[in-house]
Amino acid sequence: MLTYALKRLLTLPLVLLGAALLVFLLMHLAPGDTATALLGEFGQGASAEQLARLREQLGLNDPLLVQYGRFVLEAVQGDLGESLRSGRPVLEEILERFPYTLQLTLVALVLAVVVAIPAGILAARRPGSLWDTLVMGTALLGVSVPSFWLGLMLMLLFSLQLGWLPASGSGSLAHLVLPAVTIAAGSVAFIARMTRASLLEVLSQDFVRTARAKGLPEGRVVMRHALRAALIPVVTSVGLEFGGLLGGAVLTETIFAWPGLGRMTVQAILARDIYLVQGAVLFVTVTFTLVNLLTDLLYVRLNPRIRYD
Amino acid sequence: MTRKALLLTALLGLATPALAAGTITVATSADAPTLDPNATFNGYSFAVTNQIFETLLRRTDDGIQPGLATSWKALSPTRWRFELRRGVRFQDGTPFNAEAVKYSIERLIDPANKAPGAYVLDVVKDVKVVDADTVEITTRYPFGPLLAHLTHPVTAIVSPTAAKKAGKNFGRSPVGTGPFAFDAWKTGDQVTLVANKNYWNGAPKLDKIVFRTIPETATQVVELRSGAVDLIVNLPPERVKELENNPRIDVAKSLGWGSTYFGFNTQSGPTRLPKVRQALAAAIDRDAIVNQLRGGMAVKASVPVPPTVWGAAKGVASPEYDVAKAKRLLAEAGYKNGFSIDLISTNTGEFPQLAQAIQFQLGQIGVKVNVKLLEYSAFVQEVVKPNHGLYLSSWGTVTLDADYALYALFHSSEIGTNNYALYKNPKVDKLLLQARRSNDSAERQKAYLEVQKQIASDLPLLTLYYPYTSYAKSSRLQGVEVNYSWINMNLSKAFIK
């Protein structure tokens, strides 16, 4: 298992190199020019000559290969460059925003798992029952509702009408509630459906029948025997969801003015802040890969039949 | 509040938003990338740096006014002398003097600093300290708009002590002479400023300003209505009606420095013909655009710069809406059955709707318009190409001097950059250069009048309207001034009723 983990970690540089090349090319192939974006709507008025000078100063006139080489060489040494707009080290910018994303993601996912797995189990226990229909109906709604709309509705109700929770910003536990619930809504739906489907499948298998035949109480059969096997695909999906959300839930962060990584990255893309975008993508790639690895390792704990080495 | 709500509030440690103790919260739509005024060209930065820093000169409706300089005169066509305000100190205690002015301007234009705003003062050849309170600026050639350029927020004077000490970090620990001093910054969330009790023009009445980044306007409005935010700047027109009816909220609007244009390619395609341009202009119902699309939050335009700008011409006629005339002109130009043409614009703000309106109105005279909406910097890349068709864009004459708009938009040397219409008229070129190279206000004004008349006749673009700049605030917050743009908030006299 350790060897497996090490092997996987050794492929990480390759993944990063690929991701770096991809984002570098995308940023340079996308229409638009960094110097113009940097000046923005208040910087109209610079002449062609003045713009050219700015481009030269920013190193944007060098051949693409030179720019890419410089970027990789510096990144290897742990230097992701400086943001073109703020002049601050890219890593510093990212590390300031990442804790917010992590906090929001963790709370949202814990919330989602705590609600979704029991709901899925209950639904699977009595398929076709009123409870099942209710859970699955709500789940369908949760998947379908756009986070943008849900976020605004929650805000109007809990902030404006009831005055219970702050509408936006960060700084206290209360600020976390609405954005976490908004993100969780989508995940709850997804995880509950997954749990239900997986458990239903497992419950029809031979070892469950054997357990029942032994006269074990139904609760024990489900909780001790079936659930463990049923949770494997659920763990994968939670892992993927977690990895994905670590890149920042852009819409939710935007509505609730949450200072996370996703919002920062989108703003950086619009402003053609190339080094910040590259840094952010690399960072997200690393976290995503690591989370995936952890998820895979967790399998082994859940299902001893899986062996990686 | 119900008992349950009270309990919840207590449990979650919810801070009750209040205007208590002289603190106000201002919502802005994006983060300030940096608070170093010399190192950025970002509106969200300027909105905050304008509280912390000051410029040598200021612009009001009465023209150029003293700022950190109290008086000025031209010693020669290229040499200006400025007397500085005495007894002013930066927020860190450093005395404000000629050295600080020299340091700040050189900091802005030094190529090593890669400042995007260097272009505003790149005409400056030399800044000389005459004595502690006198400074002389020499330009590379006579430059009429110099004084106007010295009102631009990018030319703010910074504390040399603090800037040298902080180095690259100055953008996170800015020190100026303004009414508010930097206090704290929570990246992506908020910047806090505190009153500068020693401000030379009298300590501000507010104790603290919190600038909060709230990207979504809908959220900003909820926060204003719930009382967590006291001031929203840059309010979109569609939000005005909704907030105007709220008794606890005031909405204010004023004419800013902006103009919105419908432009033509004057060198290729059907619009190279003046008659076609006249026809398209006559097909545009600008009253409908102003009243319906903008909800009255704009003024129908006549010349390319709004009347707030020095040098804006009065009484120059602009094309009237006349569909019959438009059709006739089009037929005369040889396009009886119309033609098909691309229109490019940006995908933000009013532009998507505006593009649709133009598409519809031109459809009535048989011109088929294909709308292409692009993200801002992609739009700029497209519109500077020589083969585009029609475009919609806007311009902020941020120095409030006609040169800043007219030279960039209509001088032929700006083709490939700001002159999207690819407009070339030797007479206009000559007048624009002459006005730029002169320090004689009367002479400049005369040249700009001529230019604007010529533009109205050549019609490289149709100026659609001058948008109002608007803001909404809690009615308890008084004394707020917003000058020409949301980036120019003056909160030094604001107070809570």
Buried b (16+ CB within 10 A) or exposed e, A166-192: bbbbbeeebbbbbbbbbbbbbbbbbbb
Residues B411 and B285 in one domain: yes
The residues that bridge with B396 in the sheet, in sequence order, are B258
Which one of A30, A34, A263 has the shortest CB-CB distance to B188? A263
A171/B contact by beta carbon, under 8 A: yes
B141 lies in the same domain as B114: yes
Would residue B175 count as lying in a domain? yes
Let me know whether B268 and B413 are in one domain: yes
* Residue among B81, B79, B176 at smallest CA distance from B134: B81
Q: Are residues B176 and B266 in the same domain?
A: no
Same domain, yes or no, for B381 and B268?
yes
| Lowest model confidence (mean pLDDT) among A6-10, B19-23, B228-232, B367-371 | B19-23
Under an 8 A CB cutoff, do B13 and A174 touch? yes
Q: B282: Cβ–Cβ under 8 A, 6 or more apart, which residues?
A: B319, B320, B321, B322, B323, B325, B326, B329
Q: Which residue has the higher pLDDT, B467 or A307?
A: B467
List of domains in chain A: 1-82 (no CATH), 91-302 (1.10.3720.10)
Distance from CA of A222 to the nearest CA of B (A): 37
* For B394, nearest residue in chain A (alpha carbons): A41
- In chain A, positions 9-48, which contact chain B (CB-CB < 8 Å)? 30-48
The domain of B411 spans 258-468
Would you say residue B64 lies in a domain? yes
In this structure, are B176 and B273 located in the same domain?
no
pTM of the model: 0.88
Tell me whether residues B395 and A44 touch, CB distance under 8 A: yes
- pLDDT above 70 covers a percentage of chain A that reads 96
Does B398 contact A45 at a Cβ distance shorter than 8 Å? yes
Contact B381 A33 (CB under 8 A): yes
* Domain shared by B168 and B90, yes or no: yes
Domain harbouring B267, CATH code? 3.10.105.10
pLDDT at B18 over 50: no
- Give the residue-averaged pLDDT of B106-125: 91
Residues B462 and B482 in one domain: no
Count interface pairs A-B at CB distance under 8 A: 190
The answer on B483 and B437 residing in a single domain is: no
Asked if residue B6 has pLDDT above 50, the reply is no
A61 touches chain B (CB under 8 A): no
- Average pLDDT over every residue of B182-199: 96
- What pLDDT, on the 0 to 100 scale, is given for residue B456? 95
Total domains present in chain B: 2
Residues from chain B that touch A181, judged by Cβ atoms under 8 A, are none
Do B296 and B182 belong to one domain? no
* CATH number, residue B40: 3.40.190.10
Report if residue B343 sits inside a domain: yes
Per-residue pLDDT of chain A (309 residues; tens, 9 = 90+): 678 778 878 888 888 888 888 888 888 887 777 888 877 767 777 888 888 888 888 888 888 888 888 888 888 887 888 888 888 899 999 999 999 999 999 999 999 999 988 888 888 888 888 888 888 888 888 888 888 899 999 999 999 989 899 999 998 899 999 999 999 888 888 888 888 888 888 888 888 788 888 887 877 777 777 888 888 888 888 888 888 788 778 889 999 999 999 999 988 888 888 889 988 988 888 888 888 888 888 777 777 666 665
- In this structure, the answer to whether residues B359 and B214 fall within a common structural domain is no
- Report pLDDT for B93: 96
**With contacts defined as CB-CB under 8 Å, which chain A residues touch B31?**
264, 267
Tell whether A173 is within 8 A of chain B (Cβ).
yes
The C-alpha of A288 sits at a distance from chain B's nearest C-alpha, in angstroms, of 23
Same-domain check for residues B174 and B265: no
